[in-house]
């Protein structure tokens, strides 16, 4: 009962910040999906963005448009957990 009423509410900001950081780390995976997938239908966003580059140049308009779309899920996740992340910084005592 102490855990559910005391510890968990106090650790909610920390857990939400960790959720955002772990989601960001997994969202930005590049090497493993590049090696493990062989089908073009199974490529992840970062591998798809990298496919816009070639040996002789890059299609920067496609790369920047795809990067803007790839940022949207992380931006939505941050907006959902913004209050908890700011509170975890506030309660940590750092200035």
Find the angle CA(21)-CA(25)-CA(76) to the nearest 5 degrees: 60
Least confident of 26-30, 54-58, 64-68, 73-77: 26-30
CA atoms in the 13 A half-sphere facing the CB of 21: 8
- Rounded CA gap, 13 and 28, in Å? 23
Q: What is the pTM of this model?
A: 0.62
Please check the confidence at residue 3 and state whether its pLDDT lies above 60: yes
């Amino acid at each position: 009962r102490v855990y559910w009423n005391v510890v968990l509410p106090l650790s909610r900001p920390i857990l939400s910040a960790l959720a955002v950081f772990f989601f960001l780390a997994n969202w930005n995976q590049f090497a493993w999906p590049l090696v493990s997938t062989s089908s073009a239908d199974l490529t992840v966003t970062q591998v798809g963005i990298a496919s816009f580059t070639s040996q002789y140049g890059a299609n920067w308009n496609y790369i920047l448009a795809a990067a803007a779309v790839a940022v949207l899920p992380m931006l939505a996740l941050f907006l959902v957990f913004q209050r908890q992340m700011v509170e975890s910084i506030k309660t940590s005592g750092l200035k």
